[in-house]
């Protein structure tokens, strides 16, 4: 299973003395429960205003009904964090949150195609492009929809590491999943071929079973 792959990878890197990434889920509200709009709730590690650890990569996520929420204190915190963090990203309609904080000013950005026109109308200073599945402009990343956010996350991991594959693989430096900036929604077939190549690589070069 996928989570076992990650666990085994973290164990291997830890044994090598390599630094491991620490993940934190913080909420924009003081209560620890984040009520998801799809009916699934998350338990946050804490409230964003109480976060003391330095942030390397911040990924902002929200739902369609909360994309138009205006919170000046949260926007100010995003502005300060963007100046200190290495990367900042939005998933789906969370691009509205970054735009409200002024972080997408004169930048290329994308969001879910159904809300792209709304984003452009509400924030005319943003260069909205609804075609790419994700866009990087400087240290700001935006993804189209939720599943496109998975592509973005994999690309951020791929770009943020220089380690070589473990598990006895004699291969080139880690470069497995890559969501190219030029990949568009009408070019699914080449991308599917890339995924097939990845599965073959994992199966025949690393001895992993397909899951």
Catalytically annotated residues: 92
- Count each helix (H run) and each strand (E run) in the chain, helices first: 6, 10
Q: For residues 143, 101, 136 and 36, what is the CA-based torsion angle, rounded to 10 degrees?
A: -20
Q: Determine the 3-state secondary structure of 119 from DSSP.
A: helix
Q: Give backbone dihedrals phi and psi of 42, rounded to 5 degrees, phi first.
A: -120, 150
- Give the whole-angstrom CA distance, residue 29 versus residue 182: 36
- Give the whole-angstrom CA distance, residue 28 versus residue 110: 23
Identify the H or E element spanning 109. Answer: strand 108-109
- Name the nearest CA neighbour of 11 among 168, 166, 173, 205: 166
Q: For residue 69, how many other CB atoms are within 10 A of its CB?
A: 12
- Name the nearest CA neighbour of 76 among 100, 55, 50, 59: 100
- Give the whole-angstrom CA distance, residue 169 versus residue 65: 46
Q: Determine the 3-state secondary structure of 135 from DSSP.
A: strand
């Amino acid at each position: 299973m996928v989570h076992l792959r990650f666990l085994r990878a973290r164990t291997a890197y830890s044994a090598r003395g390599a630094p491991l990434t620490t993940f934190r889920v913080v909420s924009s509200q003081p209560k620890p429960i984040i009520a998801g709009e799809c009916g699934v709730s998350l338990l946050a590690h804490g409230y964003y205003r109480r976060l003391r650890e330095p942030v390397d990569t911040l990924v902002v996520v929200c739902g369609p009904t909360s994309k138009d929420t205006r919170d000046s204190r949260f926007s100010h915190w995003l502005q300060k964090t963007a100046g200190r963090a290495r990367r900042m990203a939005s998933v789906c309609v969370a691009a509205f949150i970054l735009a409200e904080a002024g972080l997408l000013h004169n930048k290329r950005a994308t969001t879910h195609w159904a809300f792209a026109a709304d984003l452009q109308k509400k924030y005319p200073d943003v260069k909205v492009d609804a075609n790419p599945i994700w866009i990087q402009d400087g240290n700001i990343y935006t993804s189209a929809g939720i599943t496109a956010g998975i592509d973005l996350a994999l690309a951020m991991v791929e770009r943020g590491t220089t380690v070589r594959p473990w598990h006895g693989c004699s291969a080139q430096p880690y470069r497995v999943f890559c969501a190219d900036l030029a990949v568009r929604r009408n070019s699914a077939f080449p991308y599917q071929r890339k995924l097939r190549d990845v599965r073959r690589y994992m199966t025949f070069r690393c001895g992993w079973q397909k899951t």
